[in-house]
Amino acid sequence: MSTKPAWYAQLWVQVIIAMAIGVALGAYAPDTGAAMQPLGDAFIKAIRFLIAPIIFCTVVHGIAHMANMARVGRVAIKALIYFEIITLVALIIGLIAVNWLQPGAGMNVDLTKIDVRVLDPYLKQTHAVGFIPFLMGILPNTFVGAFAEGNILQVLFIAVLCGFALVWMGDAAKPINVVIEAAGKMVFRIVGLIMYIAPLGAFGAIAFTVGKFGVGSLKSLGFLLADFYGTCLLFIIVVFGGIAWFCGFNIFRLIRYLREEILVCIATTSSETVLPRLMTKMEAAGCEEGVVGLVVPTGYSFNLDGTCLYLASAAVFLAQATNTHLSLGDQISLLLILLFTSKGAAGIAGAAFVVLAATLAAHQTIPVASVALVLGIHRLMSQALTPTNFIGNALATIVIAKWENALDVVKLKAALR
């Protein structure tokens, strides 16, 4: 019988301790804290290069295990319907919250005094954001290129095709399935090894954030941060909590079950670092392998609830700060644009900020140059939107599995206990 490891040997405890040390270092020695950035970046890169093979092996094996292409299509359609509904709810809640609290009112920002040169690296990427570029981006230039670039959607597209091909091959595909399953287990073992340095990565990332963006320099934008963090928390408790209750479990138990991964998300502002762990834990919680393999990778591009809250909140905040009047019609058109642009950021560095700039350019009402106002606090806002995205994808996996009768309720309750 296995015994529970000592409290100090548990990953979430080690991550919290590392984050606390990082906050202290960033606060009392900002320059030294900012210099810790390579530790966080190295951890993110160490996990990111494994994401493509994990998605490929998991999705191919999952589809081959289902052995039913009609069911694969049914799961994908159910997932997309769910994603669109929750995305719309997130955008509406974000717009209501920022209109009610009005964090940008009274700032009276003079755009002529803003240095827009700092936006160049982000504005150059806005051409790649949008519904048509998004669809075209799903198709890789080469088979190997999708893996080399680490494009989640392209790898998912290739994996689905390969899974279908193996199903069509029948018994002749069994040796290939065995190899793919073994390769997947090998990659997950590597992830397990890399997670040992998660506390070091969390320390470096949080020390950099506090050291570079110390609280004292953020007072003028503190109301926006408070508004956004509160909106994310409300969304998790009310919307996610309501969905979880309808599915027969408590959202706080799910958060506790995923606490290690959530802490890593907060520290590194990247949900990609815990994608492999999320897939493993969802299977351990009773979700069928094939459903996990389809829903989780797809959700990382289509189910970005925290990002939608950020986009709605930031866009209207910038309108308030620059005294740009937005009528009800303007806000409805903004919401419709966000429904599309929020789906087109997969694989783009600084995705949420790039999409924000692209959305303002498409809407042509709020000055694009105003996005410079939130550039300095984007990383701090990411520390709220990233875990919201992560929790949303974990919840979506359980919802789709239950909808598809592919959820072992007994295993789920045992895991959440």
CATH of the domain at 45: 1.10.3860.10
Neighbours of 28 (CB within 10 A): 11
Tell me the C-alpha to C-alpha distance, in Å, between residue 283 and each of 71, 219, 319, 347: 18, 43, 44, 25
50: amino acid identity, one letter:
L
Give Cβ neighbours of residue 193 (< 8 Å, ≥ 6 apart).
none
Domain extent at residue 110: 29-416
Q: Is 97 part of a structural domain of the chain?
A: yes
d(CA 341, CA 335): 10
Would you say residue 378 has pLDDT above 80?
no
Give the whole-angstrom CA distance, residue 101 versus residue 214: 24
Give the CB-side neighbour count of residue 67, counting CA atoms within 13 A.
Answer: 7
DSSP 8-state secondary structure symbol assigned to residue 264: H
* Amino acid 7: pLDDT: 67
Residue 402, both tokens: 């239950």
CA of 52: how far to CAs of 27, 56, 146, 147, 235, in Å?
37, 6, 8, 6, 30
CA nearest to 232, candidates 260, 255, 257: 255
pLDDT given for residue 21 in this prediction:
92
Q: Do residues 401 and 291 make contact, with C-beta atoms less than 8 angstroms apart?
A: yes
Q: Are 359 and 338 in contact (CB under 8 A)?
A: yes
Which residue, among 362, 369, 321, 306, has the nearest Cα to 338 in the 3D structure?
Answer: 362
Q: Where does the pLDDT of residue 375 fall: very low under 50, low under 70, confident under 90, or very high at 90 and above? A: confident
Task: Give the mean model confidence (pLDDT) for residues 211-219.
Answer: 61
Tally Cβ neighbours within 10 Å of residue 408: 15
Q: Is 166 inside a domain boundary?
A: yes
Q: Is 54 exposed, middle or buried (0-12, 13-18, 19+ CB in 10 A)?
A: buried
pLDDT digits (tens, 9 = 90+) for 74-99: 888 999 899 989 999 999 999 999 99
Instruction: Tell me the pLDDT band of 1, cut-offs 50, 70 and 90.
Output: very low
What size, in residues, is the chain? 417
Q: What pLDDT is recorded for position 223?
A: 82
Write out pLDDT tens, residues 182-197. 998 898 888 888 888 8
417 vs 377: CA distance, rounded Å: 37
Confidence check: pLDDT of 218 > 80: no
Say whether pLDDT at 372 is over 60.
Answer: yes
* DSSP assigned state of 33: H
Q: Could you report the per-residue pLDDT of 28-54, keeping only the tens digit for each?
A: 888 898 899 888 888 888 887 888 888
Q: How many helices (H) and strands (E) does the chain have?
A: 22, 0
Cα 212 to chain centroid distance, Å, stands at 23
The pLDDT tens digits of the residues spanning 290-324 come to 899 889 988 887 888 988 899 899 999 888 888 88
Paired with 407 in beta bridges are: 287
pLDDT at 287: 94
Residue-wise pLDDT for 225-244, tens only, equals 888 999 999 999 999 999 99
DSSP-derived 3-state class of residue 365 = coil
Classify residue 351: in a domain, yes or no: yes
Q: What is the pLDDT of residue 217?
A: 46
β-sheet bridge partners, residue 287: 407
CB 151 within 8 A of CB 143: no
Q: What are phi and psi of 208, to 5 degrees?
A: -65, -45
pLDDT, position 76: 86
How much is the pLDDT for 219?
56
- Indicate the SS3 state at residue 39: helix
The answer for residues whose C-beta is within 8 angstroms of residue 169's C-beta and 6 or more apart is: 176
Q: Does the structure show a pLDDT above 70 at 162?
A: yes
Q: Count of CB atoms within 10 A of residue 219's CB?
A: 8
Residue 125 has pLDDT above 70, yes or no: no
Q: What is the mean pLDDT of residues 55-78?
A: 82
How far apart CA 152 and CA 138 sit, in angstroms, is: 9
Taking residue 46's Cβ as centre, other Cβ atoms within 10 Å add up to 18
How many whole angstroms separate alpha carbon 237 and alpha carbon 356? 25
Q: What is the pLDDT of residues 251-295, one digit of tens each?
A: 999 999 999 999 988 888 888 888 889 999 999 999 998 899 889
Q: How far apart are CA 47 and CA 273, in angstroms?
A: 5
pLDDT band at residue 246 under the 50/70/90 scheme: very high
Residue 208 is assigned to a structural domain of this protein: yes
Q: 292 Cβ partners below 8 Å, 6+ apart?
A: 58, 62, 279, 282, 283, 397, 401
126 φ, ψ (degrees, to nearest 5) = -65, -20
Residue 349 pLDDT exceeds 50:
no
Number of domains within the chain: 1
Share of the chain above pLDDT 90, in %: 25
Amino acid letter, residue 82: Y
Is 80 exceeded by the pLDDT of residue 106? no
Question: What does the mean pLDDT of the chain come to?
Answer: 83
The mean per-residue pLDDT over the stretch 145-157 comes to 80
102 domain residue, yes or no: yes
Residue 193 burial by CB count (10 A; 0-12/13-18/19+): exposed, middle or buried? exposed
**What secondary structure letter does DSSP report for 342?**
T
Can you give the pLDDT at residue 347? 44
Backbone angles phi, psi at 303, to 5 degrees: -120, 65
210 in any annotated domain:
yes
